[in-house]
Amino acid sequence: MSSRDIILGRVRRALGEAPRGDAQTSYETAVDREYRREHGSRTTEETVGLLAANLADYRAIVHRCQDEEELPDLIMRLLAARGPQYVLVPPGLPPEWMSAADPTRVHDRAVSTTHDVDKVGSVVTGCAVAVAETGTIVLDGSPDQGRRRITLIPDHHICVVRVPDQVVSSVPQALERLDPTRPLTWISGPSATSDIELDRVEGVHGPRTLEVVLVSGE
């Protein structure tokens, strides 16, 4: 007998002979989902404000931009302040965003090895959705976000969030918007550890600096 049959047989014996009904049908009624879809009631503006506050609380650096026209200048300044020689860009990043930037642009597809990515100082991406209550940005590998490794290996990540379109209040609302078949990365603040006497240290392995630009759409 295969281990598969052994384990499934053990499960069935453990659960007994009593009829259990159909899993899917009983699932509908098995769980009380009385919990909230979001916590508190806020205006759209307040939700964006909460996102900014919670991002900052977990030591992401937050910038606001009134419209997309200001964006290239802001990105240019943020990159200049860190002075990376190379900056990674995913294939579908709107080219205007980088139109004022100085460092050499390296495209996601061009970096073939992890060592290539390791030579890059900064990465600029969009995002799939941002969660206000938790201060989280979620990337789903869309063309403006690129593969998972490009937002992991470089030490500096600039993530552009279109507000209010890409902002939801809560975790349940975020899951509704996401496609489980895509590779998803949820990011709340920069990488951190509290393993040494519970002192928080940023950037053990992921980017040590996370800058989030909230850009208001037209």
List contacts with another protein (CB under 8 A): 2-4, 6-16, 20, 23, 26-27, 30-36, 39, 54, 58, 114-115, 118, 131, 133-136, 141, 147-149, 152, 171-172, 175, 180-199, 201, 203-206
Nearest distance from C-beta of residue 114 to another protein, angstroms: 5
H-helix or E-strand spanning residue 88 = strand 86-89
Nearest distance from C-beta of residue 86 to another protein, angstroms: 17
Look up residue 84 and give its amino acid.
P
Render 133-170 in DSSP notation, one character per residue: TTTEEEE---TTT--GGGGTSSSEEEEEEEETTTEESS
Cβ proximity to another protein, 6 vs 80, nearer residue = 6
Look up residue 30 and give its amino acid.
A
Nearest distance from C-beta of residue 53 to another protein, angstroms: 11
Cβ proximity to another protein, 165 vs 176, nearer residue = 176
Cβ proximity to another protein, 74 vs 122, nearer residue = 122
Cβ proximity to another protein, 136 vs 166, nearer residue = 136
Nearest distance from C-beta of residue 213 to another protein, angstroms: 19
Question: Which phi and psi (to 5°) does residue 157 adopt?
Answer: -120, 120
Nearest distance from C-beta of residue 186 to another protein, angstroms: 4
Residues pairing with 136 in the sheet: 131
User: What's the CA gap between 116 and 6, in Å, rounded?
Assistant: 47
SS (H, E, C) 194-209: CCCCCCCEECCCCCCE
Cβ proximity to another protein, 100 vs 192, nearer residue = 192
